[in-house]
Amino acid sequence: MTEAMHEPPRSRSTLDHALYVLRDNPVTLIAFAMFALLLFMALFGPLVAPYDPLASNTDVALKPPSAAHWFGTDNLGRDVFSRVLVAARLDLMISIAAVALSFIVGSVLGAAAGYWGGWIDTVLGRLLDTIMAFPLFVLAMGIVAALGNSVENIIYATAIINTPFYARLVRAEVNIRRNAGFAQAAKLAGNSDLRVLAFHIFPNALPPMMVQVSLNLGWSILNAAGLSFIGLGVRPPTAEWGVMVAEGANFIVSGEWWVALFPGLALMFAVFTFNLLGDGLRDIVDPRQRT
Amino acid sequence: MTRSNSRRDFLKLSGASIGAASLPFLKYMPAQAADDVIVAVMGQTINSLDLHRTGTNRPSYQVAVNCYDRLISFGTKKTPDGGLSYDYSVLEPELAESWTTSADGLTLTFKLKSDAVFQDGAPVTAEDVKWSFDRAVSAGGFPTVQMKAGGLLRPDQFLVEDEKTFVIKLDRASKLTLPDLAVPVPFILNSKLAKSKATADDPWAMEFVHKNTIGSGAYKVIRWDPGQQLVYERNDSWKGGPLPGIKRLVLREVPSQATRRALIERGDVQVSFNIPNKDASELGGKTKVFSTPIENSIYVVGVNYKFEPFQDPDVRKALAYAIPYAEIFKAAAYERGSPMWGGDGKIETIDWPQKSPYSTDMEKAKAHLEKSAFAKGFEVPFSISLGQTDWMEPTALLIQESLGKLGVKCAIEKIPSANWRTASLVEKRLALHLEGFGGWLNYPCYYFFWAYKHGHLFNSSNYKNDEIEKLVDETLHMPTDDPSYAPKVKRMFEIAFEDLPRIPLWQPALNVATHGAKGYEYWFHRQLDARKLAKG
Amino acid sequence: MSGRLRAISLRILQAVPVVIGVVVISFVLTRALPGDPAVYFAGPAADEASIAQIRKELGLDRSWPEQFAIYVGALLSGDLGKSLSTGQPVLSDLATRLPASLELTLVSLLLACAIAIPLGVLAATRPGSWIDHLCRILVTAGVSLPTFFTGVVLIYVFYYLLGFAPSPLGRLDFIYIAPPATTGFYLIDAAIVGDWSTWAAALRQLVLPATTLALFTLAPIARMTRAAMLSALSADFIRTARAAGLRGRTVLFAYAFRNALLPVVTTLGMVFSFMLGANVLVEKVFAWPGVGSYAVEALVVSDYAAVQGFVLAMALLFVALNLLIDLIYSLIDPRIGFSAQ
């Protein structure tokens, strides 16, 4: 919104451009539709689910998909379809919370480093290098193992390994603009450093960051799934796609493919959506990349 | 396609590979490999060839079994499913030819086999036995604890009478001593070779034995790639028993359970050790599954007395009546092993484990809870081990659901394997948890010694009952044919079922699948004993 | 040239704080793990005394600063400590396992490049067409699947059902013995001694895990190739070249692609270090004896030395890799000085 203050004509053209891109790029349009479906699952999943996702019934354990259980049942006889639906909310929450957290922390750190430079920049740069030098998945594992496997800790771990990407991005964007004309002008107009940074310079970093956000959302879901595979996922009996795939993976060879396949497809669907969305957003915010 | 190609190439080239004999190993297994080599897989990893070493994990105990001899061993019997099992009631010679016990039971004298030799050709002497026993009681950690169980505490108890005669002096006579000599721990090493590798810092040659097998046992380890594989080769001069039917055993470590199942089903490996209950209940056709109930072992729900509501006997009973036993046995055990619930309440034998008098009855559960001070229910964390999720997770989930109906809310907490022992057994701080102790020595008093005596390792519930303390102390070393033994043991069972610090679920089974191998034998130590394995 | 040398040494100097940071963080992180290794390794029936004895042997009875000082001291003399779970020195564990991971990662990277770069170029030459969209959907689908899931499905289909693939038992079928170790890469070692049947066997074992990993890395490479090609193709010099009547193919490969290589190489470097971390799960599924599965096992049992050794090795690798990318950069495009920034 603040962006509009400086470049008023652009907002309209951005909208036009977005519409143009959507029309021109059916894949992005589909991605938005898929995203809407995901949101629907997250918001209304528990209402639409035909069964209680936590209710076990060992009499119908490991039954293949049928009219009663569309996606079959798992080893405790829980309805896989209901669990897949209900899990959407938690999975989206984990990824959105993790990305939001890394977005905020990364932005603050990156903006400070990019704007003031000096020792802040140096220290932060080395710190980020250090985190990046860790094998990221193993770092996440270590954090969750050390703090205990709760949803919050999975979010923190994912946020920590994502933060350097945002911080670097913001630092670069802020750094090249800190002496730009509009920033100088804003400063001369009596705005404080913080104000100039937050409302004048930082918004310019938003478009590339949005792309990063949507790519990271998918990556965060995969990361949580990987943690589940090692056994460091959310606590049972909570339905979560990664846990379901990880547990179901043991049933594939014995022929009960549906236990892993459907949550796997849901997971893939979500990550796929976020990735396509990221690609599409890139096309919208950065027209130079499309010619 | 690729498969048959590789076998063909392998046959074609095995003739040419003699040139590679200068390498420590041929590029391929020799051509006769197909007939007398067995490939086995397991999910765990072997971290040492020396059981006495600090930090040696459980799966590594099999090296002590397969590559070393003890003085004596247990006999073998047939199991109902056509497999083999060790026989706790029979003691057999291994390195000892014969042994005698003095009238007061305090002196044990062993005559060693005259022709027994170590793998380097040196004869096995009483000196070697003494050195090995000294090592076991001095090493610290698990071996020392296990020796202590049999009354073997100090080096001065072990005497060399002559080259082939070894004597043990006991502080008190105990029925546990002889069986304790047949567990994997008191294995006999080649002391001369070991001493030549010992240093001032390492008087017991731990470093050398960690990587080399220097015994007189049925096999020797010819290759060990930690985290990947172990290759055993038959010791043709073994005197401890009939020679194994195979020349080599290749033991591969495959962490993924799905992969292991695929391998055994396709017959690419001949033995898959310790398979999940689910696989055991499903594998069939050419794959043969042996499910042996583990002696002296029960999976239980631990109810910690440190946690206030559990100090109330009615709460514990409410729990015992609320557990959906049959569902758990179906979903977690896949009906492998034996149910340990729904007994008639009469304790007639001293067989352990035996069925508890409890079964699922929500009405009784509610009645008991209402009688207690926690009629409205309470919240409690329910802890399970990350390393044993295959049975713990479904069990915990079903119990959680059922307790929820009583108003008892549990949050399931998965604890990493490294922390599990600390939390459950050492600190004993888990309020509600699952536990699966099994005693190596098959006596009920031995089980109670570990699992019901106050402060003892597997008493994860902080249970303390003065009568149990007394009964265990009295029965532990008492011969089982003593007329007062059975009544005392039955009394212990009674108290245990009444007090319920451990709510029995079922007796687990050890599942092993074979595909083209025979001669698998179940042992109380639950590791692969390869000495009777053969192809076919 | 001396300027370049100086720049390199400056870069190495800059890496020093990173390595120190990694050492400190990995030390703290391992100590924060909830497990007590002494209890874990004391065995199933250990009592208080034997646990205390083991704690002492492992040096865990000392304070953190003391432990850290001891650790750093040993580190400086090249001693990474001993892994409790494998019972071997961490250095030798890493030495045998790192090549396995590197071989797997490199092969899958090659595979990914062989598919993703042509796809990217193809997409870039026809932006907005159905081919472009198809490429995009294809590579995005690859990156959307959790690797452990892909791995199990591949094993199920190609090994269990169809029997095309060899048994997923690590680097070599059990009937083969590893070639004499020169580099630790079985493909190279087997080729050196001319043992082509072992070479083929090692390659066969690699196919499924490498495919699993490659599927996951198609997307960043293809995306970057497409973007770089697009911007290269829209550059003035291409227009000039076209106007000068050069053939489309020559323009595409000799001019545009060469210029697009630069960002692609950067991406490759990032992808490579990311993959080394990400193949943890693939290694677990395929019983691949690499550093990733090693680290996971070590972490679960709080095997301090092994986790620290692994993290340090990866960090050093990461630093070295970045240096290498910078070098390649200046080789591909001589205009870019090796600036020390």
- Rounded to the nearest angstrom, the minimum Cα separation between B401 and chain A is 8
Tokens 């053209």: give the residue. Answer: A13
Q: What is the pLDDT of residue C335?
A: 58
Is the dihedral angle over the CA atoms C176, C179, C181, C186 positive or is it negative? negative
User: DSSP string of C182-206?
Assistant: SSS-HHHHHHHTT-HHHHHHHHHHH
Measured between CA atoms, the residue of chain C closest to residue A265 is C145
- Residue C312 CA to residue B534 CA, distance in Å, equals 46
Backbone dihedral angles phi then psi of residue A261, each to the nearest 5 degrees: -65, -45
Residues C253, C203 share a domain: yes
Residue A277 has pLDDT above 90, yes or no: no
Q: What is the pLDDT of residue A286?
A: 63
Query: Is C317 part of a structural domain of the chain?
Result: no
- Residue A223 CA to residue B175 CA, distance in Å, equals 55
Q: Return residues 211-270 of A near B (CB < 8 Å).
A: 231-232, 235-237, 249-250, 252-254
Average pLDDT, chain A: 83
Residues C147, C110 share a domain: yes
- H or E element, residue B179: helix B177-181
Residues C121, C37 share a domain: no
Choose the closest CB to A272 out of C140, C276, C292: C140
Residues C119, C55 share a domain: no
Domain count, chain C: 2
Q: Please give the average per-residue pLDDT across B105-130, as a whole number.
A: 94
Task: Count CA atoms closer than 13 A to B385's CA, side-chain side.
Answer: 22
Whether the upstream peptide bond of residue A237 has omega within 30° of 0, thus cis, is yes
Identify the domain boundary among C282, C300, C318: C300
Q: What is the pLDDT of residue C305?
A: 87
- In this prediction, residue B295 has a pLDDT band, given cuts at 50, 70 and 90, of very high
- Residue B280 CA to residue B291 CA, distance in Å, equals 7
Choose the closest CB to A253 out of B261, B389, B397: B261
Report the neighbours of A using a cutoff of 3 or more CB pairs below 8 angstroms: B, C
- Rounded to the nearest angstrom, the minimum Cα separation between A71 and chain B is 19
Chain-centroid distance of CA C304 in Å reads: 22
CB contact (8 A) between residue C85 and residue B57: yes
Q: Please give the average per-residue pLDDT across A120-135, as a whole number.
A: 85
Query: Is C314 part of a structural domain of the chain?
Result: no
Residues C169, C202 share a domain: yes
Residue B34 has pLDDT above 70, yes or no: no
Q: What is the pLDDT of residue C336?
A: 52
- In this prediction, residue A93 has a pLDDT band, given cuts at 50, 70 and 90, of very high
Backbone dihedral angles phi then psi of residue B91, each to the nearest 5 degrees: -105, 135
Residues C68, C104 share a domain: no
Q: What is the pLDDT of residue B336?
A: 92
Contacts of A61 in chain B (CB under 8 A): 330-331
Residues C277, C192 share a domain: yes
Contacts of C46 in chain B (CB under 8 A): 141-142, 145, 457
pLDDT digits over B166-181, tens only? 999 999 999 999 999 9
Residue B220 has pLDDT above 60, yes or no: yes
Q: What is the pLDDT of residue B75?
A: 94
Residue that wins the pLDDT comparison between A118 and B180: B180
Measured between CA atoms, the residue of chain A closest to residue B256 is A250
Residues C182, C221 share a domain: yes
Query: Is C306 part of a structural domain of the chain?
Result: no
Residue B165 has pLDDT above 80, yes or no: yes
Please tell me if residue C235 touches chain A, with a CB cutoff of 8 Å: no
Residue B122 has pLDDT above 80, yes or no: yes
Residues C128, C12 share a domain: no
Q: What is the pLDDT of residue A179?
A: 79
Query: Is C309 part of a structural domain of the chain?
Result: no
pLDDT digits over B365-395, tens only? 999 999 999 999 999 999 999 888 889 999 9
- H or E element, residue B379: strand B379-385
Query: Is C23 part of a structural domain of the chain?
Result: yes
Query: Is C86 part of a structural domain of the chain?
Result: no
**Taking the C-alpha atoms of C178, C180, C181 and C182 in order, what is their torsion angle to the nearest 10 degrees?**
-140
Percent pLDDT > 70 in chain B is: 94
- In this prediction, residue A126 has a pLDDT band, given cuts at 50, 70 and 90, of confident
Q: Please give the average per-residue pLDDT across C216-225, as a whole number.
A: 85
pLDDT digits over C10-53, tens only? 777 878 888 888 888 888 888 887 777 777 766 666 667 777 87
Residues, chain C, total? 341
Q: Please give the average per-residue pLDDT across C274-300, as a whole number.
A: 82
ipTM (interface predicted TM)? 0.80
Q: What is the pLDDT of residue A252?
A: 81
CB contact (8 A) between residue B141 and residue C174: no
Residues C154, C17 share a domain: no
Identify the domain boundary among C76, C109, C134: C76
Q: Please give the average per-residue pLDDT across C120-139, as a whole number.
A: 84
Residue B4 has pLDDT above 50, yes or no: no
Contacts of A146 in chain B (CB under 8 A): none
Mean pLDDT is lowest, of A20-24, B311-315, C199-203, C258-262, for A20-24
Residue numbers of the domain that contains C185: 97-300
Average pLDDT, chain B: 89
Beta-carbon contacts of B521 under 8 Å, excluding residues fewer than 6 positions away, are B76, B83, B84, B85, B86, B529, B531, B532
Indicate which of C29, C30, C40 best probes the interface with B, i.e. most B CBs within 10 Å of its own CB: C40
- How far, CA to CA in Å, does B283 sit from each of A63, B276, B511? 18, 11, 11
pLDDT digits over A157-169, tens only? 999 988 988 888 8
DSSP state of B387: G
Query: Is C328 part of a structural domain of the chain?
Result: no
Q: What is the pLDDT of residue A287?
A: 53
Indicate which of C97, C152, C154, C308 best probes the interface with A, i.e. most A CBs within 10 Å of its own CB: C152
CB contact (8 A) between residue B256 and residue C33: no
Q: What is the pLDDT of residue A194?
A: 84
Indicate which of C20, C140, C239, C311 best probes the interface with A, i.e. most A CBs within 10 Å of its own CB: C140
Mean pLDDT is lowest, of A224-228, A282-286, C231-235, for A282-286
Q: Please give the average per-residue pLDDT across A149-159, as a whole number.
A: 89
Report the neighbours of C using a cutoff of 3 or more CB pairs below 8 angstroms: A, B
Query: Is C63 part of a structural domain of the chain?
Result: yes
Per-state percent for chain A, helix, strand, coil, to nearest 5: 80, 0, 20
The DSSP bridge partners found for residue B223 are B231
Residues C102, C72 share a domain: no
Query: What CATH number does residue C293 fall under?
Result: 1.10.3720.10
Residues C72, C104 share a domain: no
Residue C298 has pLDDT above 70, yes or no: yes
Taking a C-beta distance cutoff of 8 angstroms, is the pair A174, A202 a contact?
yes
Q: Please give the average per-residue pLDDT across C123-144, as a whole number.
A: 84
Q: What is the pLDDT of residue C46?
A: 65
The DSSP bridge partners found for residue B290 are B512
